[in-house]
């Protein structure tokens, strides 16, 4: 999305000429690239899992626990870094281009520092996975995968920080271009480094992690090159605002810290929930994993809409026009709700179509009785003889997904809106109370005190709690949004938030 040198308003103005502010065309101009971008990132992880499945059962079994542990450590700083998107959007809307550039530099410093610190757990990886207690072969691969991922934490965080300069200004096509290129590089390198090709030796588990790290380095380099473009150099003077700004860094911690904690609590709660499902039984864990994987078909595009809503809200808050922001949020919810309703109908009316690829893989797979009962390993160890039972359970679970999906759209869209305005502490508290009070604790108590019931009953009760959790979050964020307090918030300095002056 090119900008002319004499462009005197925010980057969002390029979108406004294509549609009325607060309208659908403006929303879709940002949302569609982010929907596709989110899809490319998810596809990158799918490619990793496919190649590791081809490599060995033990490799794909080790990928999930090692990957989750790494993401748990990365989620907190990543949440802080990603919140630079809200700062860029609000400063850009307030016509403070220098401050928009400076806040990205603060995120860059924080990303590099945290990335270097996250290398330290690699040296404790053997002890960490010895505590987990998986089979020795899998444990060795977990240590290998986790250690290499830790080495790549810095470029992953750096790419996330630099991308905020573009996504916060509505230039989501550039983010899509970088992510798609990174995904293609990861796919090619994955195959070459996992199985060996030409001069590249077979590296197996380490190869998968190294390929991901190289792809993240490539993404960071792409963003750095894009920052040499005319608009970044001239209008925003990006390379002149490299100095450490204590005020901006403090503000990034103040608003981004709760956002990062919220992300961490969410990941931790979901991980605990999946662990407890695994206690019920192998079939139940397999069915739950498949149902959640199918849920991502609807979840990913709605996340893209949420990012678009976050950007638009930040821009309008910076401009001092929260009324326009409210219109964008409501249209975003209509779009996201429509997506969820459409997928909900598919989940209920045509689940066999969605399950066909899983059934094909199950019918051609020979189960390994020594495989670790992790979500991915179990999913891939379902044999022809018992997949019919798993399929029957998944069909029922997809009805739960269909019911709560609409409320998930409420949580994503309205939650993104209030966080973009600066209401991050409230979101953190709500996530903690709901994730652990409505999802983890009730599921644990059900499993502990209702053990005499059949496994199916335990599973369905667990999914009832999951549905209650999502639906409650949706209503809480909706009512918080309706309350309107977010309209008076800002993450930038009060004197500049509604200024008409240019920097």
Q: Per-residue confidence of the chain (503 residues) as pLDDT tens digits? A: 333 333 333 344 444 444 577 778 888 888 888 888 776 766 676 667 667 767 765 676 677 667 777 888 888 899 899 889 888 988 988 888 999 999 999 999 999 999 999 999 998 888 877 876 666 777 888 889 999 999 999 999 999 999 999 988 888 889 989 988 998 998 889 889 988 888 888 888 889 899 999 999 999 999 999 999 988 888 899 999 999 999 899 989 888 888 888 888 888 887 778 767 767 766 676 677 678 777 877 888 888 899 889 889 988 888 888 899 999 999 999 999 999 999 999 999 988 887 776 665 445 444 443 333 344 444 444 444 456 777 788 888 999 999 999 999 999 999 999 998 889 899 999 999 999 999 989 988 887 776 555 556 788 888 999 999 999 999 999 999 999 899 988 887 654 444 433 44
Q: Is residue 247 part of a domain?
A: yes
Query: What is the pLDDT at residue 46?
Result: 62
- Burial of 366: CB neighbours in 10 Å, binned 0-12, 13-18, 19+: exposed
Q: Taking all residues of the chain, what is their mean pLDDT, rounded to a whole number?
A: 81
Query: What is the pLDDT at residue 5?
Result: 33
| Cα(315)–Cα(88) distance, integer angstroms | 8
The count of other CB atoms within 10 Å of the CB of residue 59 is 24
| Cα(176)–Cα(170) distance, integer angstroms | 12
Q: How far is CA 219 from CA 215, 216, 222, 225, in A?
A: 6, 5, 5, 10
| Cα(126)–Cα(76) distance, integer angstroms | 23
Angle, alpha carbons 125-127-128 (nearest 5°): 60
The closest of 10, 29, 169 to 94, measured between CA atoms, is 10
| Cα(210)–Cα(124) distance, integer angstroms | 19
Tell me the three state secondary structure of residue 200: strand
The count of other CB atoms within 10 Å of the CB of residue 418 is 23
Q: Is residue 7 part of a domain?
A: no
Q: Is residue 85 part of a domain?
A: yes
Those residues whose C-beta lies under 8 Å from the C-beta of residue 284, and which sit 6 or more positions away, are: 277, 393, 455, 456, 458, 459
Query: What is the pLDDT at residue 86?
Result: 86
Q: Is residue 209 part of a domain?
A: yes
Query: What is the pLDDT at residue 110?
Result: 95
Q: Is residue 8 part of a domain?
A: no
The closest of 82, 76, 457 to 306, measured between CA atoms, is 82
The closest of 290, 457, 272 to 375, measured between CA atoms, is 290
| Cα(149)–Cα(193) distance, integer angstroms | 15
What's the distance, Cα to Cα, between the start and end of the chain in Å?
A: 22
| Cα(28)–Cα(19) distance, integer angstroms | 10
What value does the CA radius of gyration of the chain take, rounded to a whole number of Å? 23
Q: Which residue has the tokens 């505590």?
A: 131
| Cα(2)–Cα(134) distance, integer angstroms | 52
Tell me the three state secondary structure of residue 374: coil
Query: What is the pLDDT at residue 60?
Result: 62
Q: Residue 193 is part of which domain span?
A: 20-491
Those residues whose C-beta lies under 8 Å from the C-beta of residue 254, and which sit 6 or more positions away, are: none
Note whether 448 and 339 are within 8 A (CB): no
**Helix, strand, coil distribution of the chain in percent, nearest 5:** 80, 0, 20
Q: What's the number of domains the chain is made of? A: 1
Note whether 290 and 394 are within 8 A (CB): yes
Phi/psi of residue 197, each to 5°? Answer: -160, 125
The closest of 178, 1, 162, 21 to 85, measured between CA atoms, is 162
User: 200 has which bridge partners?
Assistant: 197
Say what angle helices 441-449 and 246-280 make with each other, to 10 degrees: 20
Region label for 490, one of left (φ > 0), alpha (ψ between -120 and 50) or beta (otherwise): beta
- Burial of 433: CB neighbours in 10 Å, binned 0-12, 13-18, 19+: middle
Q: How far is CA 208 from CA 112, 205, 358, 372, in A?
A: 23, 5, 23, 20
Tell me the three state secondary structure of residue 197: strand
**Two structure tokens written together for 3:** 């900008």
Q: Is residue 294 part of a domain?
A: yes
Angle, alpha carbons 93-408-318 (nearest 5°): 10
Tell me the three state secondary structure of residue 473: helix
Q: Is residue 425 part of a domain?
A: yes
Query: What is the pLDDT at residue 455?
Result: 57
Q: Which helix (H) or strand (E) element contains residue 293?
A: helix 282-319
Q: Is residue 503 part of a domain?
A: no
């Amino acid at each position: 999305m090119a900008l002319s040198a004499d462009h005197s308003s925010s980057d969002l103005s390029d979108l406004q000429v294509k549609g009325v502010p607060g309208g659908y065309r403006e929303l879709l101009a940002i949302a569609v690239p982010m929907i596709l971008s989110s899809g490319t990132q998810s596809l990158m992880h799918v490619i990793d899992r496919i190649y590791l499945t081809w490599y060995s059962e033990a490799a794909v079994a080790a990928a999930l626990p090692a990957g989750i542990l790494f993401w748990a450590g990365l989620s907190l700083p990543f949440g802080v870094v990603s919140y630079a998107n809200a700062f860029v959007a609000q400063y850009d809307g307030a016509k403070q281009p220098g401050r928009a550039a400076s806040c990205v530099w603060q995120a860059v410093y924080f990303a590099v520092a945290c990335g270097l610190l996250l290398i330290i757990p690699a040296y404790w990886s053997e002890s960490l996975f010895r505590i987990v207690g998986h089979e020795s072969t899998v444990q060795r691969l977990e240590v290998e995968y986790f250690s290499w991922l830790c080495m790549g934490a810095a470029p992953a965080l750096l790419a996330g920080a630099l991308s905020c300069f573009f996504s916060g200004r509505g230039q989501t096509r550039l983010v899509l271009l970088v992510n798609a290129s990174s995904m293609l590089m990861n796919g090619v390198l994955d195959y070459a480094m996992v199985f060996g090709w030409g001069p590249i030796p077979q590296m197996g588990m380490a190869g998968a992690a190294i390929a991901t790290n190289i792809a993240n380095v490539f993404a960071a380099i792409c963003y750095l090159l894009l920052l040499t473009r005319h608009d970044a150099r001239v209008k925003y003077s990006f390379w002149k605002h490299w100095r450490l700004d204590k005020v901006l860094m403090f503000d990034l911690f103040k608003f981004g810290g709760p956002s990062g904690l919220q992300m961490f609590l969410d990941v931790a709660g979901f991980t605990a929930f999946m662990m407890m499902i695994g206690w019920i039984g192998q079939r139940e864990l397999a069915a739950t994993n498949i149902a959640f994987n199918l849920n991502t078909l609807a979840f990913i595009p709605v996340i893209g809409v949420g990012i678009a809503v976050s950007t638009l809200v930040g821009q309008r808050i910076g401009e001092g026009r929260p009324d326009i922001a409210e219109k964008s949020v409501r249209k975003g919810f209509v779009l996201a709700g429509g997506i969820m309703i459409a997928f909900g109908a598919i989940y209920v009316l045509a689940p066999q179509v969605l399950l066909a690829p899983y059934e094909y893989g199950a019918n051609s797979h020979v189960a390994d009785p020594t495989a670790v009962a992790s979500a991915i390993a179990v999913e891939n160890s379902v044999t022809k003889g018992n997949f019919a039972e798993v399929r029957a359970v998944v069909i029922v679970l997809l009805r739960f997904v269909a019911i709560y999906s609409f409320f998930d759209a409420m949580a994503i869209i309205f939650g993104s809106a209030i966080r973009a305005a600066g209401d991050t502490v409230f979101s953190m508290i709500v996530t903690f109370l709901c994730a652990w009070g409505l999802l983890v604790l009730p599921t644990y108590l059900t499993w502990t005190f209702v053990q005499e019931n059949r496994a199916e009953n335990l599973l369905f009760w667990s999914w009832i709690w999951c549905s209650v959790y999502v639906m409650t979050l949706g209503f809480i964020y909706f009512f918080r949004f309706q309350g309107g307090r977010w309209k008076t918030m800002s993450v930038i300095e009060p004197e500049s938030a509604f200024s008409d002056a240019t920097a």
